[in-house]
Amino acid sequence: MPGAVPEADPETSIYFLKRNDLYTDEKPYSLRFTPPDDFPRSNIVLEKHDVTIRDIRPRLNDLSFEENGFTIMSLDSSMSYDDYDDEEKLINIYLREVADSLRAFLGAVHVQIFEHTVRKRHAEFPISTGKPYRYNQPTSMAHVDTTPEWARDMVQKLNQDNADTILKDRVQCVNVWKPLKGPVKDWPLAMCDPRSIKPETDLEPCDLVYPDYVVENRQLYYSPRHEWVYLSGQQPSEAWVFLQSDTTADVKSVPHTAFPNPLANKDAAPRESIEVRALVYYGGFDGE
């Protein structure tokens, strides 16, 4: 954003999957419902590491989605702040805006949105209130939203009549994340530069099990070689666009997480944001 002043690089902490011999025989999982009897709700073991997160704002113009796997897209939505609590407006206005903007921004032929989530940090988070939150809260562990295999399955599910044709061309799974209010100081989003990770050793497939479906994502093991960045003072018109999986190459998948920002004032407004997950197609759709 023109005129924005870069901040210092915050020293903070992030949660990572802990390396554990258990995962050689048992896939990490998390049940997103109350299991029967004493069945463990999760076998995920985390560990916290201190990290330095560089402010990318001074180098914003150097970012390339193709080269970095993440960048900032200008997104001037017609939605008002209150509109984001209206599911009908979210679907009929905002998701259409994102799909149209993303298609033009990436030079795709078609964009298919399959999920959206509004997050509004409760004043007590990350301390539990003992009651369900009204809104989803920031995610505080490093992860990638999908695996290439899961993304291909989603293409098949959403396009049963022509999935084989679509999958002959490149398909990407992309996340579009932006704040509802700005500038963001409280619990901003951080990206791990995918060029600093080794997918074969740093990423672990994990199942998020819901009552009626399963999402396969990837958890990140810590390494001191990882390079983390964020955008200081992010505004609602500045949307992160970052790659989660790609049918032609998996080296640019971007681990990410929210983090407690030590540079934020104690009276900083709790972060509020919306994220959209989409399949981005580069062929297979006639007439588009």
CATH assignment of the domain containing 130: 2.60.120
Whole-model pTM? 0.93
For residue 26, the model assigns a pLDDT of 95
For residue 2, the model assigns a pLDDT of 47
Identify whether the C-beta of residue 208 lies closer than 8 Å to the C-beta of residue 43: no
Q: Is residue 1 part of a domain?
A: no
Cβ atoms within 10 Å, residue 173: 25
Identify whether the C-beta of residue 28 lies closer than 8 Å to the C-beta of residue 204: yes
Region label for 179, one of left (φ > 0), alpha (ψ between -120 and 50) or beta (otherwise): beta
Q: Is residue 91 part of a domain?
A: yes
**Reduced to 3 states, what is the DSSP secondary structure of residue 280?**
strand
User: Whole-angstrom Cα distance, residue 188 to residue 233?
Assistant: 9
User: Whole-angstrom Cα distance, residue 143 to residue 56?
Assistant: 20
Low-confidence stretches of the chain (pLDDT beneath 70): 1-6, 250, 287-288
Residue 167 to residues 105, 156, 261: CA-CA distances in angstroms? 21, 9, 41
In this structure, what are the phi and psi dihedrals at residue 182, rounded to the nearest 5 degrees? -145, 170
Q: Is residue 5 part of a domain?
A: no
At 130, the amino acid letter reads G
Q: Is residue 138 part of a domain?
A: yes
Range of the domain at 212: 11-281
For residue 8, the model assigns a pLDDT of 83
For residue 6, the model assigns a pLDDT of 64
**Closest among 137, 109, 104, 132 to 122, alpha carbons compared:** 137
Could you tell me which residues are beta bridge partners of residue 26? none
For residue 250, the model assigns a pLDDT of 67
Q: Is residue 64 part of a domain?
A: yes
Q: Is residue 28 part of a domain?
A: yes
For residue 129, the model assigns a pLDDT of 73
Q: For the chain, what is the domain count?
A: 1
For residue 284, the model assigns a pLDDT of 84
For residue 3, the model assigns a pLDDT of 45
- Give the position of tokens 């759709």: 285
Q: Is residue 163 part of a domain?
A: yes
Q: Is residue 92 part of a domain?
A: yes
The CA angle 108-111-116, to the nearest 5 degrees, is 140
For residue 5, the model assigns a pLDDT of 59
